[in-house]
A and B are shown apart, each in its own frame.
Chain A
Amino acid sequence: DTEVTQTPKHLVMGMTNKKSLKCEQHMGHRAMYWYKQKAKKPPELMFVYSYEKLSINESVPSRFSPECPNSSLLNLHLHALQPEDSALYLCASSRSWTGGYSEQYFGPGTRLTVT
């Protein structure tokens, strides 16, 4: 099973709301990622977790707060977002973070609209 699941599929939130995105994988992967993708652009890396510890934060604004409760779950907590944060948010996982040869498996994404 090479599936990464994400919920919800769509999310509309106001600028004062607090919401969370959820990602889950059961492949035993030890690295998990959050990406942001704007229309007609490649995904941009936001965060990397390796063995449940935050390894990479690509200078993401603090209104995005990641959390890795266990090796299978990854959350992205959202608060006080701006309209320009509207995008497709993708989660991915891979066997490891080091080495470079571990392919990443992507989830279907959450389409976020900030009003």
Chain B
Amino acid sequence: AQSVTQLGSHVSVSEGALVLLRCNYSSSVPPYLFWYVQYPNQGLQLLLKYTSAATLVKGINGFEAEFKKSETSFHLTKPSAHMSDAAEYFCAVSGGNAGNMLTFGGGTRLMVKP
């Protein structure tokens, strides 16, 4: 079985500060990992994905994530937060017998202070 834990249901940063959203996964097979962002009353938008090609993955809107197998982590970072980054962020895992079924973490709400 696969699982995802997002540490911190709420994260608050100042505009211009580093954004770090934590994601740890559990998987018995090599995982595929995804970060999605959800703005209020909208669907989920794919930020980036890890599919074993490169451990440092660059996504849209200046976000990137690093796959660390030894730590079973896939943390999301952005060097400088913008007000427009305020949203809900979901980490998800798929793969193995689960096929394309996504197992989501509980989500982290990012708040950006002016």
Given A43-B90, A92-B44, A108-B42, 9 additional A-B pairs, CB 8 A = A4-B43, A6-B43, A56-B101, A100-B32, A100-B95, A101-B94, A103-B49, A105-B46, A108-B43
Give chain A interface residues in 45-100, CB to chain B under 8 Å.
Answer: 45, 48, 56, 88, 90, 92, 94, 96-100
Tell whether A21 is near chain B: CB-to-CB under 8 Å. no
Within the complex, the shortest CB–CB distance from B81 to chain A, in Å, comes to 21
Instruction: Write the residues of chain A forming the contact surface with B, with a CB cutoff of 8 angstroms.
Output: 4, 6, 31, 40-43, 45, 48, 56, 88, 90, 92, 94, 96-109, 111
B100's partner among A4, A41, A96, A107 (CB-CB below 8 A) is A96
Q: How many contacts between A and B, using CB within 8 angstroms?
A: 62
With A and B bound together, what is the CA distance between A101 and B96 in angstroms? 10
Q: A31-B100, A97-B99, A104-B102 are in contact. Are A43 and B51 (CB under 8 A)?
A: no
Give chain B interface residues in 71-114, CB to chain A under 8 Å.
Answer: 90, 94-96, 98-102, 104-107
* Pairs across A and B, CB under 8 Å, 28 listed: A41-B106, A42-B105, A42-B106, A42-B107, A43-B104, A45-B102, A90-B44, A92-B44, A94-B100, A96-B100, A98-B100, A99-B100, A100-B32, A100-B95, A100-B98, A100-B100, A101-B49, A101-B51, A103-B49, A104-B46, A104-B100, A105-B46, A106-B43, A106-B45, A107-B43, A108-B43, A109-B42, A109-B43
Number of chain B residues whose Cβ lies closer than 8 Å to a Cβ of chain A: 24
Within the complex, the shortest CB–CB distance from B109 to chain A, in Å, comes to 8
Tell whether B28 is near chain A: CB-to-CB under 8 Å. no
* Residue picked from B95, B102, B106, most chain A C-beta under 10 Å: B102
Q: A42-B90, A43-B44 are in contact. Are A102 and B107 (CB under 8 A)?
A: no
With A and B bound together, what is the CA distance between A43 and B99 in angstroms? 17
With A and B bound together, what is the CA distance between A106 and B42 in angstroms? 9
B107's partner among A6, A40, A90, A100 (CB-CB below 8 A) is A40
